[in-house]
């Protein structure tokens, strides 16, 4: 017999430790581990962490086997791991109904339980008796299921279990927008049962999703049916939230030591090395002590001041726990593992030494890691005054199985028994390694042969959909329907994935479906119901956004491939050439660089070898040509009806999803059949033409059936994707009179939308609808037609038969639809928006846009202030409820409602691509943003509020998005009428240009624009302005706060009303209005200086509160919240938002900023309740008297009638002798003079 090696002896020592501290507690029936001897329940998270040491020890024995007994020991340990993992699977699979419900509701009542009976796998408490919704617990189970499977363990035994795991993927994939109770089961740190979005859950879900993607749960013995599929876009949603939240842990926790599991082992969920380091340092600086780390600031768990008889804390009670939070040695084990994986041997040794000094020796000298160290009750005051000075005592579980397991794991790695790659076979540890540059492949397809010919004239060689056979091209909607079938299982009553829109990462792959290659067009091409797709520049913008997103977020093997169809809507007005914006885009794509992305154009067939491909085997047919799970229908539909589930994203009932999934299967069957080339026979092969006729009839019948199924699946523009030209013609026109005449008649004035109309009356005094229809038929004004149809729509309903030409069958809905198409062709955007609102055209991504903004910790308000007109959205809403809320806040103004929806979509686009635009903004007030847009146009175009509103409504979607970006960016910009001639039927075009640091455009600074050419441009502009007529007048937005006394920086108005470029202004008046405008913009956007909220927290420590227009922010707020909490920032913001005027709000912010300078002065108090508005008015009075003394007249010192503040003060720069900060500083010093030290400098 061979002698035992030294490494074998040491391994045996760890085996004894594992046996005595962990495996001795494992239940022989279920395999589960109780939390401790006193707490017999099995927590999911604790069980997974606790078994890691057993798994690692098994791997170490297998690797370092001296003899056969070691291999047997390895197998025994591995089976203990399998038993526990399968025990947890049994616990969760018994709650399969909850998984099914939760996919649609994301409700805390429908979640899997957090803990189970160790003996029976049954639940131990009710749904509402515990904070069960802990997505990080489910995610960590899935993460290690993937890692252990990859290491060679066989945990999943059947396809039913595979389907259940696939549905668990759907359970966690919405973690980025789901508020839960987090890894400490408390949610909000007040422990009052308030769920919140937690970094620990989002990060662990991201890691689990990435680990499971394309993983075969049967290991080397599996096949296509046992592979798990994950949508990459859901992973990237999680990634975005992590980057927006860290180093914060949640709304109520500015930092949490549990985040270590996300930024390092086991999740490695954050790809930004700098962000990882910042978060780690925050934890060390704010949470680390002599015995470990606190979980989070003001954590009262097991502190001497905690009242064990109460489950919840009072908000003001949290201050009592400051500086005495318990310290957990557990987190030092994370630092050890982090040092091992990052190669930092000094960090490993430092924390191993620190940990060794606080471990407790148990029986037989085994080192035990306690749950936590607490301050002794008699030393609380001493510790509070001098943190980390008191010796603490161990409390809680001994050993703490979770911490004990990670301690043993760290020892095995640190001593070389295992390499990091052996417990991380899926290579999660390389997440921060820089990724290579992405080249996006773009295949341009023409809708028709005619468009193909047009593109060829411009030197662009492209294919049609028919040309790319055998590759099939389909819309993104079909891919959504296909994925809705993934994970369906009849016997377990699992309906598959809820229908959701596909992101660009999903549509940029090629798919193998039923042995055929499919490509899918991007989602934005699919949005035909809303009018954004009518603006070709908007199509280009969305393509640019998608390309940029792909370059920054693509992580898969192979290159992304975008299939971009050029349709007839992308042609110019004559239909003979391409829209200039589209043509320029296609040429840039061919050049190889567009929108910050490297691109390569070519044929789809040429990209097959370099593209990322996914095999969707779950759509394969069985032996009889049926889908493998077609038996699903009989039981599942009724089951789902009983559950009354609804898709939280789009409101699709589960039963309908089941039906649609079968419809999409039939659709694919017919599509593959009809697009496969048939052999051609010679004419002599048939007796006569009857057979050919019958064949044609059958083919036509198949095509009609295929088109019908496409419509059932809501496929827009079906002729682009289907092999037929039979249905390309539009529906017959209803012959509403064209508005061409009005373009030729300058005297035709279009009435105002919502204008009072003199409705014809019958003999009884009621509205004569027949006369109204006659008037509709004779009207040549599109605007008037829209107004009449709106009246008919509201008073008679969409399905009322107008009998407009004497024949029945022409409904109001049909007439509105045709009118929408007509104004869409003329690009009259105000009318398009108006009719779109009447028709209630669905903004398909609206609820997703709202959810994206909310999940980035931004609240939304719709409608204009003050409350209750301005309504706050703080949690995701279903589409119908969201629309209803917007309509209410818009006070039934159709144009404002539709504009609100549009801006919400744009905000989400910018949040996705440029989150830095929203720094220090926690509430996005869409009503005020619309108001500021109108104000900008009013000042810049020197027009009335009503005309500015009209111009705003007539902006194209791309121009409106551009204007929003300039407002969000905080940079100086100018708005002026375009120098080009404009059709009189459309509102004058708007040109937006950015100014540099000195107020001039880049071309002006470079000296490129010569005076002569500028004068020519000015002459053209005068001609253009003279030719512009007002086309539409809309009900004005609430513009009470639009001041006509200010002009946009960088633009001056001559006496004739013409705009002069900066540098040709007659005097410095071009600067007038710059600071007033800046304050208005910042106030509307809630933009504050960096660190503002932390300074407010400090000043609240020295007074009883801040009063803003009667609303008090009490100092007691600081007893609950810490300076860096999002919760505190939102609370301060909500008080400031009581002020409806944005420029006045911003002046109050400046006053508070001056006030916060006193926070650093060594004084105990600066008074009771400080009235901030009083400070501002004192500063205003000082400013007024100074200006009066200098000879300013009454007109110059005109005051805002609403606030009483001088408009000139609003327009003063912060610095300088007459700057706003100078006067605010004087008024603050006067206000708090009695509290300042006598030795301080006196104000001059």
Q: Convert the pLDDT of each residue in 478-494 to its tens digit.
A: 999 999 999 999 999 99
Place of tokens 């994935």: 497
What pLDDT is attached to residue 1107?
A: 93
> What is the number of residues in the chain?
1244
> pLDDT tens digit string along 965-974?
988 887 766 6
| Residue 578, SS3 per DSSP | strand
What pLDDT is attached to residue 607?
A: 95
Cα(901)–Cα(841) distance, integer angstroms: 11
Q: Residue 848: which of 527, 1211, 441 has the closest Cα?
A: 527
What pLDDT is attached to residue 246?
A: 92
Residue 680 has pLDDT above 60, yes or no: no
> pLDDT tens digit string along 841-852?
877 778 888 988
Range of weakest confidence among 224-233, 362-371, 654-663, 935-944: 654-663
What is the share, in percent, of the chain residues with pLDDT greater than 70?
A: 80
What pLDDT is attached to residue 1242?
A: 44
> What φ, ψ does residue 1122 adopt, rounded to 5°?
-95, 165
Residue 43 has pLDDT above 90, yes or no: yes
What pLDDT is attached to residue 652?
A: 36
Burial (CB count within 10 angstroms: exposed 0-12, middle 13-18, buried 19+), residue 1108: buried
DSSP strand pairing (393-395 vs 41-43): unpaired
Range of weakest confidence among 174-178, 375-379, 703-707, 1074-1078: 703-707
DSSP strand pairing (472-474 vs 516-520): parallel
Query: Backbone dihedral region of 825: left (phi > 0), alpha (psi from -120 to 50 degrees) or beta?
Result: alpha
Average pLDDT, stretch 987-1006? 50
Q: Which residues pair with 566 in a beta bridge?
A: 446
- Contacts with 123 (C-beta within 8 Å, 6 or more apart), sequence order: 95, 113, 116, 117
Range of weakest confidence among 500-514, 683-697, 923-937: 683-697
Distances 1152 to 1089, 1099, 1162, 1220 between C-alpha atoms, Å: 11, 9, 18, 13
Residue 125 belongs to what H/E stretch? none
What pLDDT is attached to residue 48?
A: 98
DSSP strand pairing (613-615 vs 510-513): parallel
| Residue 512, SS3 per DSSP | strand
What pLDDT is attached to residue 1048?
A: 32
pTM across the whole model: 0.84
> pLDDT tens digit string along 184-198?
998 899 888 899 999
Residue 1006 has pLDDT above 70, yes or no: no
Range of weakest confidence among 6-15, 460-469, 731-740, 1023-1032: 1023-1032
Average pLDDT, stretch 7-31? 93
Residue 730 has pLDDT above 60, yes or no: no
Looking at per-residue pLDDT, the higher value among 838 and 1241 belongs to 838
**Residues 864, 866, 871, 875: what is their CA dihedral angle, to the nearest 10 degrees?**
120
Q: What beta strand segments (E) does 761-894 contain?
A: 859-862, 871-873
What DSSP assignment string belongs to 1079-1106? Answer: HHHHHHHT---TTHHHHHHHHHTTSSEE
Residue 1018 has pLDDT above 70, yes or no: no
> pLDDT tens digit string along 131-175?
999 999 999 999 999 999 999 999 999 999 999 999 999 999 999
Q: Confidence class of residue 213 from pLDDT cuts 50, 70 and 90? A: very high
Looking at per-residue pLDDT, the higher value among 286 and 812 belongs to 286
| Residue 858, SS3 per DSSP | coil
Burial 612-635 (b: 16+ CB within 10 A, else e): bebebbbbeeeeeeebbbbebeee
H helices of 971-1122, in order, are: 1002-1006, 1011-1027, 1074-1085, 1092-1100, 1117-1120
What pLDDT is attached to residue 497?
A: 92
> What φ, ψ does residue 977 adopt, rounded to 5°?
-70, 145
Average pLDDT, stretch 101-108? 92
The C-alpha R_g of the chain, in whole angstroms, comes to 34
Q: How many CA atoms lie within 13 Å of 72's alpha carbon, on the beta-carbon side? A: 3
What pLDDT is attached to residue 1135?
A: 92
Place of tokens 């064949």: 695
Looking at per-residue pLDDT, the higher value among 40 and 1069 belongs to 40
What DSSP assignment string belongs to 591-660? Answer: HTEETTEEEEE--GGGGTTTB-EEE-GGG-B-TTSSBTTGGGHHHHHHHHHHHT-B-TTT--BHHHHHHH
Residue 1156 has pLDDT above 80, yes or no: yes
Distances 329 to 394, 445, 670 between C-alpha atoms, Å: 10, 60, 63
Cis peptide before 866 (omega within 30 of 0): yes
Range of weakest confidence among 339-353, 736-750, 1094-1108: 736-750
> pLDDT tens digit string along 1064-1103?
333 444 467 788 888 998 999 888 988 999 999 999 988 8
Q: Residue 988: which of 1076, 1078, 1074, 1059 has the closest Cα?
A: 1059
Burial 1198-1217 (b: 16+ CB within 10 A, else e): eebeebebbbbbbbbeeeee
> What φ, ψ does residue 411 adopt, rounded to 5°?
-65, -45
- Contacts with 1177 (C-beta within 8 Å, 6 or more apart), sequence order: 1204, 1205
| Residue 227, SS3 per DSSP | strand
Cα(1157)–Cα(943) distance, integer angstroms: 41
What pLDDT is attached to residue 55?
A: 97
Cα(304)–Cα(383) distance, integer angstroms: 12
Q: Residue 1141: which of 844, 949, 925, 947 has the closest Cα?
A: 925
Dihedral angle sign, alpha carbons of residues 63, 67, 71, 74: negative
Q: Residue 61: which of 385, 336, 417 has the closest Cα?
A: 417
H helices of 1043-1202, in order, are: 1074-1085, 1092-1100, 1117-1120, 1126-1136, 1142-1156, 1172-1189
Residue 521: how many other CB atoms lie within 10 Å: 25
Distances 505 to 190, 549, 605, 612 between C-alpha atoms, Å: 39, 9, 20, 10
Q: Confidence class of residue 599 from pLDDT cuts 50, 70 and 90? A: very high
Query: What's the mean per-residue pLDDT of the chain?
Result: 82
Q: Residue 963: which of 903, 914, 887 has the closest Cα?
A: 903
Range of weakest confidence among 336-350, 559-573, 722-736, 883-897: 722-736
What pLDDT is attached to residue 681?
A: 43
What is the share, in percent, of the chain residues with pLDDT greater than 90?
A: 48
What pLDDT is attached to residue 1056?
A: 31
Q: Confidence class of residue 795 from pLDDT cuts 50, 70 and 90? A: confident
> pLDDT tens digit string along 525-557?
875 567 887 888 999 998 999 999 999 999 999
> What φ, ψ does residue 736 adopt, rounded to 5°?
-65, 140
- Please say whether the beta carbons of 86 and 155 come within 8 A: yes
Residue 746 has pLDDT above 60, yes or no: no
Place of tokens 């040092």: 339
- Please say whether the beta carbons of 135 and 112 come within 8 A: no
């Amino acid at each position: 017999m061979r002698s035992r090696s030294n490494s074998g002896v040491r391994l045996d020592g760890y085996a004894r430790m594992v046996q005595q501290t962990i495996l001795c507690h494992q239940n022989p029936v279920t395999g589960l581990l109780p939390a401790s001897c006193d707490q017999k329940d099995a927590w999911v998270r604790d069980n997974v962490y606790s078994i890691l040491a057993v798994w690692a020890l098994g791997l170490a024995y297998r690797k370092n086997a001296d003899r056969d007994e070691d291999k047997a020991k390895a197998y025994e340990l591995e089976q203990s791991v399998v038993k526990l993992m399968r025990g947890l699977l049994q616990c969760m699979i018994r709650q399969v109904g909850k998984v099914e419900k939760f996919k649609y509701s994301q409700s805390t009542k429908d979640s899997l339980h957090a803990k189970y009976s160790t003996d029976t796998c049954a639940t131990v408490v009710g749904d509402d008796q515990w904070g069960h919704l802990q997505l990080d617990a489910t995610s960590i189970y899935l993460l290690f299921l993937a890692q252990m499977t990859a290491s060679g363990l066989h945990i999943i035994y059947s396809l039913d279990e595979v389907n259940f795991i696939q549905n668990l993927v759907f359970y966690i994939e919405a973690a980025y927008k789901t508020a839960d109770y987090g890894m400490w089961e408390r949610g909000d740190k007040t422990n009052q049962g308030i769920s919140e979005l937690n970094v620990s859950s989002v990060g662990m879900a991201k890691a689990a999703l990435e680990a499971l993607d394309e993983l075969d749960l049967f290991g080397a013995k599996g096949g296509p049916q046992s592979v798990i599929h994950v949508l990459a876009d859901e992973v990237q949603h999680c990634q975005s939230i992590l980057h927006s939240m860290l180093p914060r842990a949640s709304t109520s926790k500015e930092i949490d030591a549990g985040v270590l599991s996300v930024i390092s082992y086991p999740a490695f969920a954050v790809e930004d090395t700098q962000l990882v380091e910042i978060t780690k340092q925050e934890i060390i600086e704010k949470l680390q002590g002599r015995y470990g780390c606190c979980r989070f600031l003001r954590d009262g768990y097991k502190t001497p001041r905690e009242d064990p008889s109460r489950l919840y804390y009072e908000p003001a009670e949290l201050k009592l726990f400051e500086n005495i939070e318990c310290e957990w040695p557990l987190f030092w084990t994370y630092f050890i593992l982090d040092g091992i994986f990052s190669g930092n041997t000094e960090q490993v040794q430092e924390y191993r030494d620190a940990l060794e000094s606080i471990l407790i020796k148990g029986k037989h000298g085994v080192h035990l890691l306690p749950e936590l160290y607490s301050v002794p009750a008699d030393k609380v005051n001493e510790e509070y005054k001098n943190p980390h000075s008191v010796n603490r005592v161990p409390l809680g579980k001994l050993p703490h199985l979770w911490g004990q397991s990670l301690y043993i794991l760290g020892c095995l790695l640190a001593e070389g028994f295992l390499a990091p790659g052996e417990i991380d076979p899926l290579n999660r540890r390389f997440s921060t390694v820089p990724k290579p540059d992405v080249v996006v492949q773009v295949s341009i397809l023409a809708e028709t042969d005619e468009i193909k010919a047009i593109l060829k004239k411009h030197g662009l060689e492209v294919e049609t959909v028919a040309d790319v056979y055998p590759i099939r091209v389909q819309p993104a909607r079909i891919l959504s329907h296909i994925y809705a079938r993934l994970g369906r299982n009849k016997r377990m009553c699992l309906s598959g994935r809820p229908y959701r829109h596909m992101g660009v990462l999903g549509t940029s792959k090629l798919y193998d479906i039923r042995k055929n290659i499919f490509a899918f067009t991007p989602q934005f091409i699919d949005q035909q119901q809303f009018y954004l797709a009518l603006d070709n520049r908007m199509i280009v913008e969305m393509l640019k956004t998608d390309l940029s997103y792909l370059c920054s977020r693509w992580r898969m093997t192979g290159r992304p491939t975008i299939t971009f169809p050029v349709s007839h809507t992308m042609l110019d007005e004559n239909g003979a050439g391409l829209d200039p914006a589209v043509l320029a885009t296609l040429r840039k794509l061919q050049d190889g660089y567009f929108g910050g992305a490297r691109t390569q154009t070519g044929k789809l067939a040429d990209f097959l070898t370099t593209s990322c491909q996914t095999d969707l085997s779950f759509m394969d047919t069985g032996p009889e040509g049926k889908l493998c799970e077609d038996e699903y229908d009989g039981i599942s539909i009724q089951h789902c009806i009983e559950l009354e589930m609804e898709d939280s994203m789009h409101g699709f009932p589960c039963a309908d999803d089941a039906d649609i999934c079968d419809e999409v299967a039939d659709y694919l069957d017919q599509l593959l059949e009809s697009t496969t080339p048939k052999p051609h026979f010679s004419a002599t092969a048939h007796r006569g033409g009857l057979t050919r006729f019958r064949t044609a009839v059958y083919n036509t019948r198949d095509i009609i059936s295929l088109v019908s199924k496409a419509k059932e699946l809501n496929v827009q523009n079906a002729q682009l994707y289907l092999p037929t030209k039979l249905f390309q013609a539009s529906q017959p026109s209803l012959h509403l009179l064209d508005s061409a005449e009005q373009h030729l008649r300058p005297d035709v004035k279009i009435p105002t939308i919502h204008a009072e109309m003199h409705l014809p009356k019958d003999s009884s005094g009621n509205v004569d609808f027949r006369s109204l229809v006659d008037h509709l038929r004779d009207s040549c004004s599109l605007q008037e037609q829209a107004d009449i149809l709106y009246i008919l729509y509201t008073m008679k309903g969409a399905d009322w038969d107008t009998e407009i030409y004497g024949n029945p069958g022409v409904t109001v809905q049909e007439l509105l639809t045709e009118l929408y198409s007509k104004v869409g062709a003329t690009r009259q955007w105000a009318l398009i928006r108006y009719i779109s609102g009447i028709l209630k055209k669905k903004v398909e991504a609206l609820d997703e846009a709202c959810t994206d903004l909310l999940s980035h910790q931004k609240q939304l308000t719709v409608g204009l202030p003050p409350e209750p007109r301005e309504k706050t959205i703080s949690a995701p809403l279903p589409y119908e409820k969201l629309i209803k809320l917007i309509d209410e806040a818009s006070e039934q103004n159709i144009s404002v409602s539709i504009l609100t929806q549009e801006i919400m979509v744009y905000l989400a686009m910018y949040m996705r691509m440029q989150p830095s635009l929203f720094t220090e903004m926690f509430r996005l007030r869409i009503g005020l943003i619309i108001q500021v847009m109108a104000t900008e146009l009013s000042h810049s175009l020197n027009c009335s509020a009503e005309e500015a509103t009209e111009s705003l409504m007539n902006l194209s979607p791309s121009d409106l998005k551009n204007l929003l970006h300039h407002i969000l960016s905080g940079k100086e910009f100018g708005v002026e009428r375009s120098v080009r001639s404009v059709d009189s039927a459309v509102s004058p075009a708007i040109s937006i240009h950015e100014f540099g640091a000195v107020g001039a455009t880049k071309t002006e600074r470079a000296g490129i624009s010569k005076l002569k050419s500028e004068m020519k441009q000015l002459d053209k502009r005068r001609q253009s302005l003279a030719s512009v007529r007002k086309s539409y007048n809309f009900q004005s937005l609430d513009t009470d706060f639009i001041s006509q006394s200010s002009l946009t920086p960088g633009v001056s108005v001559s006496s004739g009303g013409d705009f002069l470029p900066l540098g040709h202004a007659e005097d410095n008046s071009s600067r007038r209005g710059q600071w007033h405008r800046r304050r208005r913009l910042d106030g509307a956007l809630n933009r504050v200086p960096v660190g503002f909220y932390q300074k407010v927290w400090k000043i609240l420590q020295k007074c009883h509160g801040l009063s803003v227009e009667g609303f008090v922010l009490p100092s007691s707020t600081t007893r609950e919240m810490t300076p860096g909490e999002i919760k505190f920032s939102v609370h301060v913001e909500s008080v400031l938002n009581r002020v409806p005027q944005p420029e006045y709000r911003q002046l109050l912010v400046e006053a508070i900023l001056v006030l916060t300078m006193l926070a650093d002065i060594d004084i105990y108090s600066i008074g009771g309740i400080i009235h901030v508005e009083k400070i501002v008015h004192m500063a205003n009075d000082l400013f007024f008297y100074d200006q009066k003394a200098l000879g300013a007249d009454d007109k110059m010192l005109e005051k805002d009638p609403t606030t009483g503040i001088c408009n000139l003060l609003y327009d003063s720069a912060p610095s300088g002798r007459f700057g706003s900060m100078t006067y605010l500083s004087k008024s603050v010093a006067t206000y708090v003079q009695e509290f300042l030290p006598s030795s301080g400098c006196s104000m001059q």
